């Protein structure tokens, strides 16, 4: 089961959208029956899950949902999405393997300005909400131009609906702590890298032993005419063969030591 999400930058006069696909990337390799599904939008508020039934997505079709077109009750919320059976109750406890496939069954998550847009083809796997992950994310794609603003985004979703704070440290490649910030669970967290512009570093490392999630990097020029959205690979993605999880353990031990 996958979860999808909106990227919130309304304060920068930017809209966001999510394209939901009700079909696998390659039907030939998919063994299950494609069915009409219900699109469920949910968010954490007042220590409980709140749900919104967006409607039905037909099999083998896609739907684009713009955040600005959603009801006002969903404004200023970190919104997540999943697909459920039409007859199922609205609940984060709903789980199935409907959208598990190879290649991965993804969505298209987009940030939109009047001039352009950028997107990321991604999802939150179900196991993200059931595990207490840690975070090590390196940022080699940061653009240092004075007219470009960079943001680190951490998408966190947990089974408990409470928004719990956790600490994130920002380091340089020599493990020097440059800044600290507080993020929250069940939130699309953002951090502006302009706080770090006085540090002459080719790379910043975002680190947390308390929580993790999906790390993304968003860059834009100040007129919103050029934008980019990237992600960092998980440590095991640097290897094709061998013990990938051993490498991941070595990398995390290095940064957490």
Dihedral angle computed from the Cα positions of residues 39, 215, 105 and 158, in that order, rounded to the nearest 10 degrees? -50
The answer on pLDDT for 180 being more than 90 is: yes
pLDDT in tens, 208-257: 999 999 999 999 999 999 999 988 766 666 666 667 777 777 777 778 77
The tokens for 107 are: 């969505």
pLDDT (tens digit, 9 = 90+) per residue, 127-170? 888 888 889 888 766 777 788 999 999 999 999 999 999 999 99
Q: Is 28 left (phi over 0), alpha (psi -120 to 50) or beta?
A: alpha
Average pLDDT over residues 172-192: 94
pLDDT at res. 233: 65
Residue with tokens 């199922």: 88
Q: What is the pLDDT of residues 93-122, one digit of tens each?
A: 888 899 889 888 989 999 999 999 999 888
CA distance 143 to 12: 18
Q: Say whether pTM exceeds 0.75.
A: yes
pLDDT, position 242: 66
Please say whether the beta carbons of 56 and 86 come within 8 A. Answer: yes
Per-residue pLDDT tens digits for 24-42: 999 888 989 999 999 999 9
Which residue, 5, 246, 32, is CA-closest to 124? 5
Strand-by-strand arrangement of the 107-112 sheet: 62-66, 15-21, 107-112, 117-122
Cα gap 7→188, rounded to integer Å: 7
Domain boundaries, the chain: 1-125, 131-257
- CA distance linking residue 83 with residue 69, whole number of Å: 19
Question: What is the structure's pLDDT at 112?
Answer: 96
């Amino acid at each position: 089961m996958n979860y999808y999400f909106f990227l919130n930058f309304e304060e920068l006069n930017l809209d966001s959208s999510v394209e939901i696909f009700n079909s696998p990337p390659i039907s030939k390799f998919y063994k299950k029956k494609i069915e009409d599904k219900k699109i469920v939008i949910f968010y954490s508020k007042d220590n409980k899950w709140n749900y919104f039934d967006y409607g039905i997505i037909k099999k083998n079709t896609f739907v684009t949902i713009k955040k600005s077109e959603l009801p006002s009750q969903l404004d200023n919320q970190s919104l997540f999405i999943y697909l459920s059976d039409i007859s199922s109750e609205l609940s984060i406890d709903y789980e199935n393997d409907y959208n598990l496939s190879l290649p991965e069954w993804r969505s298209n998550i987009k940030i939109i300005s009047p001039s352009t847009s950028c997107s990321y083809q991604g999802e939150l796997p179900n196991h993200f909400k059931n595990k207490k992950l840690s975070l090590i994310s390196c940022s080699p794609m940061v653009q240092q131009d004075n007219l470009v603003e960079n943001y680190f985004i951490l998408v966190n979703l947990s089974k408990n609906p409470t928004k719990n704070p956790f600490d994130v440290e920002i380091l340089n490649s020599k493990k020097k702590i440059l800044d600290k910030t507080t993020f929250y669970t069940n939130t699309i967290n953002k951090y502006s890298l302009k706080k770090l512009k006085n540090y002459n570093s080719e790379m910043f490392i975002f680190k947390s032993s308390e929580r993790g999630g999906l790390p993304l990097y968003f860059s834009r020029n100040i007129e919103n005419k050029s934008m980019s959205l990237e992600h960092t690979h998980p440590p095991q993605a640097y290897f094709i063969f061998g013990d990938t999880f051993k490498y991941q353990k070595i990398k995390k031990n290095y940064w957490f030591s």
